[in-house]
Amino acid sequence: MTKQDFRIVGKSVKRDDVIEKVTGEGKYTGDYHMPGMLFGKIKRSEIAHAKIKSIDVSKALAYPGVKAVLTHHDVPRVLHYGSPHPRSASCTKDQYILDDRVRFWGEGVAAVAATSEEIADEALDLIEVEYEPLPGVYDIDTAQLPDAPLIHDVGPGGNLVIPPVHVERGDVDKGFAEADLILEGEFAGGRPTPTYMEPNVCVADWDGSNKLTFWTSTQTSFMVRGALAEVLGLPLNKVRVLVDHMGGGFGAKQDLFQHEFLCALLAKKCRRPVKMEFTRRETFVAGRSRHPFKLWLKQGFRKDGTLVAREMKVVFESGAYGSHSPGVTNVGTASATSLYRCDNVRLNGRAVYTNTPIAGAYRGYGVVQTYYALDIQMDEAAEKLGIDPAEMRLRNAVREGDIAPSGHPIIGHGLESCISHGVEAFNWAAKKGAPDRLVAGRPSARKGYGIGCEMHGSSAYPGIKEQGNATVKMNEDGSITLLTGAAGLGTGAHTALAQIVAEELGVTFSSVSVVHGDTDVVPWDIGAFASHTTYMVGTAAKMAAAELRARVLVRAAEKLQEKAENLEMVDGIITVTGKPGTSLTILEAMGPSRGIPAEHLIATGSYMPTKSYSFGAHFVEVEVDTETGIIECKKVMPVHDVGKIIHPIAAQGQVEGGVQQGIGHTLTENYVIDTSNGRSLNAGLVDYKMPLSMDMPDIETVLLEAAPDPGGPWGAKGIGEDPIIAIGPAIANAVYDAIGVRFHHYPITPEDVLNGLRAKQKDGANAGL
């Protein structure tokens, strides 16, 4: 199919789910209120590491309105993964629903169900917990000391979450021996959080047949079903998980949270529906963040800029539980095999437990950290070698056939296209070549320009062998229903899937409606993560639509007395090639006689993807105030190769939102834990500072179809995570361009800038921080 043949794919058709969002009619989990519903609350520890000596709940139980209290004595003691991929390589089994020990400040120690939220809250204060404090570990370095207090008995030893990940290719020592320039540096990053606008919430209800119905704001409803069933000892058909609209997740709502188990257990105990909703504070304390990290990177370059050797050691801070650390460590470490091609690499990745809140899955999954280092050092090398930073990246950009982080040869390499396109469109050469960095009318400010690059896989293969499914059925009036298990976390994925079905089947977009979010009804789905919904479920939907189309055409051929291969179907009208005037509508071909459909038309596509990579290059302009230290991101041009654009506006929206979060992580966002006692210092929307309407730069998104992937629908690849990755190093590099101070960490605060400027003045050189 050539480009101009697309009728629906590639157009920003109206997103059906958005009507419900703009009218306020869309139901989010917190909008469900049921008769007799109780409200659950969690008692959280006020100490970061301790054994629980005793818990006295008698006063809480006696409090009017309290219906049940659960402690570790009352819940099944099943070790679980805390994350809904029970049998995949990405998670560690190290959590109990409630334990006789707490491992971070804010961990749940008991749960209450009461007739109102206020009563439940008040009852929490009546629960008396006696702790026996244990020595705590609050940072990466301490966690790795030989005599560090141990946080878990499971795991490979020490405070390691998993055995270290080691990746080695080529001959690293030989590579360094051939290098004209060797750079070595240390990098680090804080603790950004996803801070989705909808706090975690769930509602549990059991019926008389001992079946649990569970509404929850999750990206992975089938995994929630699986983990709940496993821990509660139920068959899967006795757990029904429902999610309609959800207010963002950004990866973190892949975990199965403590409150979700507790909500189900409280509802069971009370025989009444129970709702549990996080406060905003709890979304920080009991939510999931990106992994803080420390990284050491050494690379060797030839005079012409060619990379010849790379050695990296990275340590990710997992917090009190493993959650996604195995996946993040594997993906983050392996990602450094690529982006900039290098035959000789030696990489070591670790994840360590600390007594801090749990780090989990978050958009950019380990790659944000490692590419931050890779791309800043690339800039340093370019300067040392006297090569333009964009040119330096072009010379080293990963190419067709290079071995990708997944271990597969790359099919389609979009990175060079992204860089070249951006260099032109951003007017890079002229901007970088400007004689000074002054800002008109702001004598204390300096301008700077920077570039950052990224690549990211659509799908979690090979870490997880994934499967995408879609069922498409035709109703007896010719309308189409698409059933998908993919979550609608706000990206517009359902619309993209409906477009794919309409395009492939040959019907109008408006004739396709989407059913989702009910594990009793829709085909199994692994969940919305790893930038894979459009890529993987899209291909499954296309397969199902193709099958349905073939069956429609067979029946139409009989009616028209033609060969099926001579028939075409467009917008639900079937025509015969070369015979204008002969046509049938779908309804005429398939319609019921006496109310009975001609054929029950239903088809399911099932697709197990391998891996495709999307690419991007971000170009940014910043202004740094040398008096206040404030960095403002003024302009961003993100250039992304997505293979094939299904819905341009939705794809742009992913990019713009990713840029927003990435700017935040790089400049202002850091969920701070007191390293003396593990307490949260800024668990709220005012103290955790995100870029908002006043802070956002102009974003001019460019989407390319440079390298379509054969595994995606018409070549489409993922775009969900990519935009959060390259923006960070692009900003750090632009700050250097503005003021000549290198930063190797994020967030880069005004204080860092002022200290850096002072150090630079003192040394008269480029002080690295």
Q: Please, what is the minimum distance in Å from the beta carbon of residue 653 to other proteins?
A: 5
Residues 229-268 that bind ligand FES (CB under 6 A): 248
Answer with the entry of ligand FES, other proteins, none that 656 interacts with (C-beta below 5 to 8 A by kind): other proteins
Residue 139 or 656 with smaller CB distance to ligand FES: 656
- Is 279 a binding residue for other proteins by CB under 8 A? The answer is yes
Residue 17 or 632 with smaller CB distance to other proteins: 17
Closest CA to 707 of 340, 418, 337: 418
- Is 490 a binding residue for ligand FES by CB under 6 A? The answer is yes
Residue 185 or 248 with smaller CB distance to ligand FES: 248
> What is the Cα gyration radius of the chain?
27
Q: Please, what is the minimum distance in Å from the beta carbon of residue 290 to ligand FES?
A: 18
C-alpha 443: how far from its chain's center? 40
Q: Please, what is the minimum distance in Å from the beta carbon of residue 490 to ligand FES?
A: 5
Q: Please, what is the minimum distance in Å from the beta carbon of residue 202 to other proteins?
A: 15
Q: Please, what is the minimum distance in Å from the beta carbon of residue 95 to other proteins?
A: 27
Residue 405 or 490 with smaller CB distance to other proteins: 490
Residue 696 or 767 with smaller CB distance to other proteins: 696
Taking the C-alpha atoms of 32, 33, 36 and 41 in order, what is their torsion angle to the nearest 10 degrees? 80
Contacts with other proteins, 144-183, as mask; x by CB under 8 A: ----------------------------------------
Q: Tell me phi and psi for residue 668, to 5 degrees.
A: -130, -25
Q: Please, what is the minimum distance in Å from the beta carbon of residue 197 to ligand FES?
A: 4
Count of Cβ atoms closer than 10 Å to residue 751 Cβ: 9
Compute the Cα dihedral for 662, 664, 668, 671 and give only its sign.
negative
For 92, 506, 564, 585, the CA distances from 579, given in Å and listed in that order, are: 62, 19, 14, 15
Residue 170 or 248 with smaller CB distance to ligand FES: 248
- Is 82 a binding residue for ligand FES by CB under 6 A? The answer is no
Contacts with other proteins, 485-504, as mask; x by CB under 8 A: ----xxxx------------
Residues 144-203 that bind ligand FES (CB under 6 A): 197
Spatial distance between the Cα atoms of 626 and 563, rounded to a whole number of angstroms: 75
The answer to whether 471 and 523 have CB atoms below 8 angstroms apart is yes
- The structure tokens 């296309």 sit at 542
Residue 19 or 177 with smaller CB distance to other proteins: 19
Residues 113-142 that bind other proteins (CB under 8 A): 118
C-alpha 177: how far from its chain's center? 39
C-alpha 87: how far from its chain's center? 20
For 3, 494, 678, 703, 708, the CA distances from 645, given in Å and listed in that order, are: 11, 15, 45, 8, 10
Using CB under 8 A, which of 246, 361, 472, 545 touches other proteins?
246
- Is 273 a binding residue for other proteins by CB under 8 A? The answer is no
**127 Cβ contact list (under 8 Å, min separation 6):** 43, 55, 56, 57, 59, 60, 69, 109, 110, 112
Which region among 93-101, 172-180, 498-506, 679-687 touches other proteins (by CB under 8 A)?
A: 679-687
Which region among 30-38, 138-146, 317-325, 615-623 touches other proteins (by CB under 8 A)?
A: 30-38
The answer to whether 641 and 616 have CB atoms below 8 angstroms apart is yes
**17 burial level (CB within 10 Å; 0-12, 13-18, 19+):** middle
Binding residues for other proteins, how many (CB under 8 A)?
55
- Is 247 a binding residue for other proteins by CB under 8 A? The answer is yes
Q: Please, what is the minimum distance in Å from the beta carbon of residue 248 to other proteins?
A: 4
Q: Please, what is the minimum distance in Å from the beta carbon of residue 189 to other proteins?
A: 19
Spatial distance between the Cα atoms of 65 and 119, rounded to a whole number of angstroms: 7
Residue 30 or 300 with smaller CB distance to ligand FES: 30
Residue 136 or 490 with smaller CB distance to ligand FES: 490
- Is 79 a binding residue for ligand FES by CB under 6 A? The answer is no
- Is 35 a binding residue for other proteins by CB under 8 A? The answer is no
Q: Please, what is the minimum distance in Å from the beta carbon of residue 240 to other proteins?
A: 22
- Is 450 a binding residue for ligand FES by CB under 6 A? The answer is no
Residues 64-93 that bind other proteins (CB under 8 A): none
Residue 25 or 674 with smaller CB distance to other proteins: 25
Residue 374 tokens read as 């890779």
Name the strand (E) or helix (H) holding 614.
Answer: strand 612-625
Count of Cβ atoms closer than 10 Å to residue 648 Cβ: 13
Residue 258 tokens read as 């403590």
Binding residues for ligand FES, how many (CB under 6 A)?
3
Residues 658-677 that bind other proteins (CB under 8 A): 658-661
Residue 16 or 388 with smaller CB distance to ligand FES: 16
Using CB under 8 A, which of 430, 440, 596, 694 touches other proteins?
694
Which region among 43-51, 600-608, 694-702, 756-764 touches other proteins (by CB under 8 A)?
A: 694-702
Residue 130 tokens read as 């006696």
Per-position b or e across 369-402, b if 16+ CB within 10 A of its CB: bbbbbbbbbbbbbbbebebbbbebbbbbbbeeeb
| 3-state helix/strand/coil string of 43-99 | EECCCCCEEEEEEECHHHHHCCCEEEEECCCCCCCCCECCCCCCCCCCCCCCECCCC
C-alpha 604: how far from its chain's center? 27
Q: End-to-end CA distance of the chain, in Å?
A: 53
The answer to whether 332 and 338 have CB atoms below 8 angstroms apart is no
Q: Please, what is the minimum distance in Å from the beta carbon of residue 18 to ligand FES?
A: 10
- Is 630 a binding residue for other proteins by CB under 8 A? The answer is no
Residue 386 tokens read as 């006297």
Residue 391 or 695 with smaller CB distance to ligand FES: 695
Which region among 3-11, 361-369, 503-511, 684-692 touches other proteins (by CB under 8 A)?
A: 684-692
- The structure tokens 């100490």 sit at 47
- Is 205 a binding residue for other proteins by CB under 8 A? The answer is no
Which residue number is nearest to ligand FES in terms of Cβ?
A: 197
The answer to whether 629 and 693 have CB atoms below 8 angstroms apart is no
Compute the Cα dihedral for 529, 531, 537, 540 and give only its sign.
negative
DSSP result, 478-535: S-EEEEE----SSS-HHHHHHHHHHHHHT--GGGEEEEESBTTTSPP---S-TT-III
Spatial distance between the Cα atoms of 762 and 215, rounded to a whole number of angstroms: 59
Using CB under 8 A, which of 24, 146, 156, 764 touches other proteins?
24
Q: Tell me phi and psi for residue 128, to 5 degrees.
A: -105, 120
Contacts with other proteins, 550-569, as mask; x by CB under 8 A: --------------------
Contacts with other proteins, 182-201, as mask; x by CB under 8 A: ------------xxxxxx--
Q: Please, what is the minimum distance in Å from the beta carbon of residue 273 to ligand FES?
A: 23
Spatial distance between the Cα atoms of 636 and 698, rounded to a whole number of angstroms: 6
Residue 197 or 570 with smaller CB distance to ligand FES: 197
- Is 425 a binding residue for other proteins by CB under 8 A? The answer is no
Residue 218 or 323 with smaller CB distance to ligand FES: 218
Question: Which residues of the shown chain bind ligand FES in the complex (CB under 6 A)?
Answer: 197, 248, 490
Question: Which residues of the shown chain bind other proteins in the complex (CB under 8 A)?
Answer: 12, 14-15, 17-28, 30-31, 33, 118, 194-199, 245-248, 250, 279-280, 489-492, 649-650, 652-653, 656-661, 684-686, 690, 692-694, 696, 699
